[in-house]
Amino acid sequence: MLYLAASVAIPIVGIGVYLKFFRSSKRPNYPKDIVYAHIGPRGPYAPSLSPFAIKLELFMKITNIEYEGELHDIVMSSKGKFPWISYNEDDVTDSQFSIEYMKRKFKVDLDHDYTPAELAIGRAMQKMAEENLYWCLVLERWVYQKIPKLWTISKIPQHVIWIVKKGQIKNAYGQGMGRHTEEEVFDIARRDLKALSDFLGDKKFLLGDKITEFDCAIFGLLCQIYYHSMDGCLNAYMTKELKNLCDYVLRVKETFWPDWNECVQIQDHSGKKTN
């Protein structure tokens, strides 16, 4: 049975699991010299229902960092954050800090082909997606849709959905996005998606022919809309009006995630099970 508590601010758009807080005085013995990624259970059509978990895992795949995933539960970090990583004696308790840690530890740099000005734009695009568009998706998934198809196939108990919905309404209101009307939120989301589409243009990746760490964040968010918002307004808008964003999602997936079908519960939106 999968459950989710709403009493903690979690950067996850939606999945039900037991939340296990990392407060034990005895630290688990993680595999030595391997990144242990606390990324949680797999999603129906994409590897996670959290854009941040996908961001983190994609970065490790692109950089060929050896890792092992915690796929059974969502284990919260000491900061109450998810996802995060452990490496030998170190715990890095936030997805972005985890990426920065791995860049230093393993001496990897996905951004060296671009100028500081280009990287500044990449960071701005990432922040727009993670700090603005993300909350539009939270509201669509948890508040505006009464019984999303996603919850039906995920088999999350109704009382758990109610608890999480209540918490997400509070979180979104505190962040500010939840103070707007549904129409206003969708207008903001459409403008963000259009800005991403216009900036991407016909480029292979966000900044050009070489992928960057910013792509990890953008892909994490866009694949939630593409794969997990199948009955939502954001999916309808992106798939009908912004074909280059859809092509981008498929291109990143096919280039850097060859075992995608082994990382999802269901292969396609028809409900066909993976082998």
Count of domains observed in the chain: 2
pLDDT digits (tens, 9 = 90+) for 206-218: 999 999 999 999 9
27 and 139: one domain? no
pLDDT of residue 230: 83
pLDDT band at residue 127 under the 50/70/90 scheme? very high
pLDDT digits (tens, 9 = 90+) for 50-90: 999 999 999 999 999 999 988 777 777 777 778 999 999 99
68 and 141: one domain? no
31 and 75: one domain? yes
For residue 63, give the CATH number of its domain: 3.40.30.10
Residue 226 placed within a domain: yes
Reading the block at residue 96, the tokens are 């972005």
259 and 161: one domain? yes
pLDDT band at residue 162 under the 50/70/90 scheme? confident
Last residue of some domain: 68, 86, 105? 105
**Is the pLDDT at 266 greater than 70, yes or no?**
yes
Residue 231 placed within a domain: yes
- Higher pLDDT: 67 or 31? It is 67
The sign of the torsion formed by the CA atoms of 111, 217, 75, 36 equals negative
**Is the pLDDT at 201 greater than 60, yes or no?**
yes
Reading the block at residue 87, the tokens are 């490496």
Reading the block at residue 236, the tokens are 């309808």
49, exposed or middle or buried, with CB in 10 Å at 0-12, 13-18, 19+?
buried
205 and 124: one domain? yes
pTM of the model: 0.86
**Is the pLDDT at 147 greater than 70, yes or no?**
no
Among 1, 121, 19, 145, residue whose Cα is nearest residue 77: 19
Residue 111 placed within a domain: no
Give the mean model confidence (pLDDT) for residues 231-254. Answer: 96
**Is the pLDDT at 141 greater than 80, yes or no?**
yes
40 and 129: one domain? no
199 and 246: one domain? yes
Instruction: Kindly give, in sequence order, each residue whose CB lies less than 8 Å from that of residue 189, ignoring residues fewer than 6 positions away.
Output: 133, 136, 137, 140, 233, 234, 237
Q: Which domain holds residue 94?
A: 19-105
233 and 146: one domain? yes
Please provide the average confidence, as pLDDT, over all residues in the chain. 85
For residue 204, give the CATH number of its domain: 1.20.1050.10
